Amino acid sequence: MAFAFMKMHGLGNDFVVIDGRKQAPDLSPTLVMAIADRHRGVGFDQLALITKDAKADVRLTFYNADGSLSAACGNATRCIARHLMDETGQSAVTLATGRGLLQARDAGNGLTSVNMGHPQLGWDEIPLAEAMDTLSLPIEGGPTATGMGNPHCTFFVPDAEFVDLGHLGPLIETHPLFPERTNVQFATVTGPDTLRMRVWERGTGITLASGSSSCATAVAAARRGLTGRAVTIHLDGGQISVTWADDGVWMTGPTAHVFDGVWHG
């Protein structure tokens, strides 16, 4: 099996993107994990498959590095939106995802914005294993749960730099309260409407950035009264802006198309 791919990243959150609009490869979990291997394959945080869609410019299907599916991947959505806008000359595109139809637009100065939709705040939407207040979960540290098409668990801590993310991330990811596992964020308020955040991604591990995690953290901070609804988030890979608006959660940041290649399986 041979097929072309693009390597992209948003703030170091990196992706293999396959354009399957003409012919899509059969992406089994075994093949996805082989491509994800950073020593014997290409390496990525998530893989995105582009296919045709009747109601949008394209449809996106996302895979984690362990071969599992994810309904949402904000930074990959921004990267692909930028690719499509460069390809067509359009200033806005619509992308169909497991999260629904997402709108993306050129934000100027090389930045791309995507509306990740309204946050899911009910326990059954995220989902959690049982009914509870999602603002403060019965887990040590009292984290906040948020759905952005995928589950998120956000801890607000005095200093995110000193959190042992490699130890705590997988423990929280597989916590019994999250039947579909969860992404995990540790965030610190560092100034007015400014956050420092580090992330453990479900099915992948520590990543330099995460778009949906940034959105979830911004929503959680606003719900807890720690910030307003428009924030700047500093991640390991750089800076992103998130605004929880009336029409959904908008995320704006840079993208990069690093190289093109061909996979020979």
Q: How large is the average pLDDT for residues 162-181?
A: 98
pLDDT of residue 211: 96
pLDDT digits (tens, 9 = 90+) for 64-77: 999 999 998 999 99
pLDDT of residue 14: 97
Same domain, 93 and 182: no
pLDDT digits (tens, 9 = 90+) for 176-200: 999 999 999 999 999 999 999 999 9
Determine, yes or no, domain membership for 153: yes
Same domain, 153 and 174: yes
Domain count of the fold of the chain: 2
pLDDT of residue 166: 97
Residue 3 has pLDDT above 90, yes or no: yes
Residue 175 to residue 170: CA distance in whole angstroms: 9
Residue in the block written with tokens 């709108």: 103
Band (pLDDT 50/70/90 cuts) for residue 233 is: very high
pLDDT of residue 250: 98
pTM for the whole thing? 0.95
Among 139, 164, 248, 147, residue whose Cα is nearest residue 202: 147
Residue 5 has pLDDT above 90, yes or no: yes
Q: How large is the average pLDDT for residues 18-47?
A: 97
Determine, yes or no, domain membership for 129: no
Would you say 211 and 117 are in contact if contact means Cβ atoms under 8 Å apart?
Answer: no
CATH number at residue 15: 3.10.310.10
Residue 239 to residue 195: CA distance in whole angstroms: 10
pLDDT of residue 1: 79
Same domain, 96 and 156: no
Determine, yes or no, domain membership for 187: yes
Q: How large is the average pLDDT for residues 213-232?
A: 98
Same domain, 215 and 239: yes
The CA angle 122-241-237, to the nearest 5 degrees, is 105
Determine, yes or no, domain membership for 80: yes
Band (pLDDT 50/70/90 cuts) for residue 100 is: very high
Determine, yes or no, domain membership for 82: yes
Among 223, 228, 242, 211, residue whose Cα is nearest residue 145: 223
Determine, yes or no, domain membership for 124: no
Determine, yes or no, domain membership for 223: yes
pLDDT of residue 130: 98
Range of the domain at 238: 144-246
pLDDT of residue 265: 77
Would you say 184 and 168 are in contact if contact means Cβ atoms under 8 Å apart?
Answer: yes
H helices within the chain, ranges in order?
A: 29-36, 74-88, 165-173, 211-223
Same domain, 154 and 194: yes
Joined tokens for residue 143: 């984290």
Mean pLDDT of all residues belonging to the chain: 97
The Cα-based distances of 204 to 47, 67, 224 in angstroms read 11, 9, 28
Q: How large is the average pLDDT for residues 48-57?
A: 97
Same domain, 211 and 230: yes
